[in-house]
Amino acid sequence: MSRIGVFVCHCGENISATVNCEKVAKITGELKGVEFSTDYKYMCSDPGQTLLKEAIKEHKLDGVVVAACSPRMHEPTFRKACAEAGLNPFLCEMSNIREHCSWVHPKDDLTTEKAQDLVRVMVEKVKKNKALNSIKVPVTKTALVIGGGIAGIQAALDIANCGHKVIMVEKQPSIGGHMSQLSETFPTLDCSQCILTPRMVEVAQHPNITLHTYSEVEVVDGFIGNFKVKIRKKSKSLDEHLCTGCGLCTTKCPQKKIPNEFERGLGFRPAIYVPFPQAVPNKPVIDRENCTYYIKGKCKVCEIVCPTKAIRFDQEDEIVEVAVGAIVLATGFDVLQPDFFPEYGYGKYKDVIDGLQFERLASASGPTQGQIRRPSDGKEPKKIVFVACAGSRDPAKGIEYCSKICCMYTAKHAMLYKHKVHDGTPYVFYMDIRAGGKMYEEFVRRTIVEDGTHYVRGRVSTIYEKNGKLIVRGADTLMGGIPIEIEADMVVLATAGVANKGAEELAQTVHVSYDSYKFFAEAHPKLKPVETNTAGIFLAGACQAPKDIPESVAAASGAAVKVAALFSNDELTRDPLVALVNRQPAPVFSTCVGCFLCQSVCPYQAIEREEIKNRNGEVIKTLARVNEGLCQGCGTCVALCRTKAIDIHGYSNQQVYTEIMALLND
């Protein structure tokens, strides 16, 4: 027999003005199993809570119903009070007789009757409540950062500086990402390498950071605080401990004509190479696809010249398994591929290049040592056209979003061009100039006013070559849409920023969701911008959406704080209102039949497979199991389960069934 206490709150006059609280307390006090009932002016006040606590002790209550405001308001208050009085907090329920009753109905008997009904429902529900304990999950205080661009670097350093271990995985032979390819950065025009490389070195030297370059994440298992990750370290064909990074091998390699990815095809590199001079780690890798030895079976020039005998042709990929408590995704973005723009001749005409290629041309360490030269004949372009929104904001091309960074870098390109080619004429075709940001609008103004860049508002319809010139045809919509043709020497397309190659596969590997453009999805667009729907996995930088450097860094620091907060306790405490699959004595084990139709409804991948084995270790049954660390308690699986093998604490089948019965049968 239950001993339930009912506490009806007047909320000053907020409730009692339309509900007869004394009557509610009296009538509900007569319900079966109610041991004590009372009404009080302000239940949430200190005396009100004291009243509650003392009643629990005095009447040895085993369940409490507070009829007051919305549980969304004061449920935590009263559950805490119960806990302080020694009653399990999950044996306390609230009836919402203010927002759902007194405030929305007039003063009459029906309103009081409704309040009684609402209390009765909770009295019956609380009889089915179970004492629950918070779920404790241990936390491995090591973070995995996937991606070594500026976002990954920032996140790794911030976490490491909080005193936690960080494992960084980078796909390329060096960290640095796209930022290391940039020439100068808007709006201050400081040199990208100059501000980035100290950070890269800091990562390499930080005692808390372990760096795996030329590596990829293959498998992620587990859940918040307890991930198990397999990392494939691709073979560099090199003993990194022996290599001193002298670079002799890279100068002697007979293969010299491989398009250099770092220069975006504007330069060449050998088969054994360091991607760029400031690379971290500054040790070469052998590109096996292009290495003469791996193709033809002989060469080995690098091995011969290596002073420390560090070359290892037979080195194999290595799989490293690590345990981490949190993951930061910072895998960045990519730009559109050439075949996207047949009308712009990108990929067809050598002098139609993309923004990243222009960055390399403008970079002092680039293929032209910072001189603006056109790729076809090396001449200095005297007339140059920049096309903003090349692909972006174009529903016909399937990219409806704004790539956000192009307005600014295009203004920067025009400015850099003008600084380097004084007698040159830059044109910018644009749709809108989106220069929201500190000093951004001023920067664009400078490009237009001081550097005399011709901004033409309109889209380019086509670009074609004629007599050695690139004819750029568009319309000037501010001049009444008149057609405009420019005979340019070079064209730079501000190609749309798109999700990185392999983003979809990675999202599936780490179990995070992604949007229709394959950018990783945040848990809430406003209030949880660096969290994902998978607890313990966070986002930093342009893997989420196109972002500029300051935004990427801010997001990275945000993600790092989330990781640090997670790591601030040895154990994670979670609300126990989670789903569970029932257990029964052998040989049934559970009424779950293992159809796993519930698996795909779970937004959190919390439903796992559990194999029941006999003494010989043979699997005799495979059951679903809810991982308490991942379950967020939505209960969609509960409603789906045909055998009612899954139930959920707090909203159990027994509880909701009883609520309906109580509500409709007075």
Partner 1 sequence: MKVGFYPGCSMKGGAREYQESVSALAKVFDIELVEIPDWNCCGATAAHNLNKELSLSLPARIMALAEREGISDIVVPCAACYNRLSIVKHELEADKSLSTRVASIIDLKYEGTTQILNIIQFIDKYITDRLEEKVVKPFDYKAACYYGCLLVRPHSILKFDRVEDPQSMDVLVKKAGGDAIDWAYKTECCGAGMSVSRTDTVARLSGNIMKDAVDRAAEVVVVACPMCHSNLDMRRPEINKFLNEKIDIPILYISQVLGLAVGLDAKTLGLNRHMTEVNLPVKPVREIPVAKEPKKVVNTQKLEA
Partner 2 sequence: MQEFEPKIVAFVCNWCTYAGADLTGTSRIKYSANVKIIRFPCTGRIDFMILMKAFENGADGIIVSGCHPNDCHYSTGNFHARRRWIVFRNLLNFTGIDTERIQFSWVSAAEGFKWADVVNNTVKKIKEIGPYENYKKIAVSTLFNEEGASNE
Partner 3 sequence: MSELIKKVKALLNDKTINVFVGYEKGSADRIRACFARNEAQANKVFFDASCTQNLAGYLLKHEVKHFGKLGILANVAALRSIMQLASEFQIKDGEVYVLFANPDGTFVEFNDFHSIEAYLQTTDTGIKAEEQERIASLEAMSNNERWLFWNKEFEKCIKCYACRAACPMCYCHRCTTDVNQPQWIPVASHERGNLDYHLMRAMHLAGRCVNCGECATACPMDIPLNLLTYQLISPIKETFGATAGMKADATYALSTYKPDDKENFII
Residues that bind partner 3 (CB under 8 A): 588, 591, 593-601, 622, 640, 642-645, 653-654, 657-658
Could you say whether residue 215 binds partner 2 (CB under 8 A)?
Answer: no
Give the Cα separation of 102 and 16 in Å (integer): 8
Contact present, 580 and 651 (Cβ < 8 Å): no
* Among positions 77, 111, 142, 363, the unique one binding partner 2 when judged by CB under 8 A: 111
* Residues 393-422: x where in contact with partner 1 by CB under 8 A, - otherwise, as a string: ---x--------------------------
What's the distance, CA 297 to chain centroid? 44
DSSP codes joined into one string, 253-316: -S---EEPTTTTTSSEE-SEE-SSTT-SS---EE-TTT-HHHHHS---HHHHH-TT--B-TT--
DSSP codes joined into one string, 228-269: EEEEEE---SB-TTT-----HHHHH-S---EEPTTTTTSSEE
Which residues 513-552 are close enough to bind partner 1 by CB under 8 A? none
471 binding partner (options partner 1, partner 3, partner 2, none; Cβ < 5 to 8 Å by kind): partner 1
First to last CA, the chain: 20
Could you say whether residue 277 binds partner 1 (CB under 8 A)?
Answer: no
- Shortest CB 588 distance to partner 3, Å: 7
Residue 509 or residue 636: which is nearer to partner 2 going by CB?
636
Residue with structure tokens 């690590």? 322
Kindly report the backbone phi and psi dihedral angles of residue 457, in degrees, each rounded to the nearest multiple of 5, phi listed first: -85, 105
- Shortest CB 485 distance to partner 1, Å: 10
Give the Cα separation of 173 and 212 in Å (integer): 9
* Residues 626-655: x where in contact with partner 2 by CB under 8 A, - otherwise, as a string: ------xxxxx-xxx-------x-xx-xx-
Question: How many beta carbons lie within 10 A of that of residue 55, not counting itself?
Answer: 20
Residue 85 or residue 648: which is nearer to partner 2 going by CB?
648
- Shortest CB 545 distance to partner 2, Å: 17
461 binding partner (options partner 1, partner 2, partner 3, none; Cβ < 5 to 8 Å by kind): partner 1
Kindly report the backbone phi and psi dihedral angles of residue 447, in degrees, each rounded to the nearest multiple of 5, phi listed first: -60, -40
- Shortest CB 577 distance to partner 2, Å: 7
Which residues share a beta bridge with 613? Answer: 619
288 binding partner (options partner 1, partner 3, partner 2, none; Cβ < 5 to 8 Å by kind): none
- Shortest CB 601 distance to partner 3, Å: 5
- Shortest CB 72 distance to partner 2, Å: 6
Residue 254 or residue 603: which is nearer to partner 3 going by CB?
603
Residue 320 or residue 634: which is nearer to partner 2 going by CB?
634
Residue 47 or residue 483: which is nearer to partner 1 going by CB?
483
Residue 38 or residue 632: which is nearer to partner 2 going by CB?
632
Contact present, 342 and 460 (Cβ < 8 Å): no
Could you say whether residue 484 binds partner 1 (CB under 8 A)?
Answer: no
Could you say whether residue 107 binds partner 2 (CB under 8 A)?
Answer: no
Give the Cα separation of 96 and 74 in Å (integer): 10
Sign of the CA dihedral running 56, 62, 66, 67 = negative
- Strands 482-488, 490-495: pairing kind: unpaired
Contact present, 520 and 544 (Cβ < 8 Å): yes
Kindly report the backbone phi and psi dihedral angles of residue 477, in degrees, each rounded to the nearest multiple of 5, phi listed first: -75, -15
Residue 464 or residue 651: which is nearer to partner 2 going by CB?
651
C-alpha closest to that of 119 among 15, 25, 217: 25
Could you say whether residue 480 binds partner 1 (CB under 8 A)?
Answer: no
Contact present, 529 and 555 (Cβ < 8 Å): yes
SS3 content of the chain, % helix, strand, coil (to 5): 30, 25, 45
**Structure tokens belonging to residue 614:** 């006999």
Could you say whether residue 347 binds partner 1 (CB under 8 A)?
Answer: no
Residue 66 or residue 324: which is nearer to partner 2 going by CB?
66
Q: Residues interacting with partner 2, by CB under 8 A?
A: 70-73, 96, 98-101, 103-106, 110-111, 113-114, 117-118, 121, 124, 127, 513, 523, 533, 577, 601, 603-604, 632-636, 638-640, 648, 650-651, 653-654, 656-661, 663-665
Q: Residues interacting with partner 1, by CB under 8 A?
A: 342-343, 348, 396, 461-462, 464, 466, 471, 473
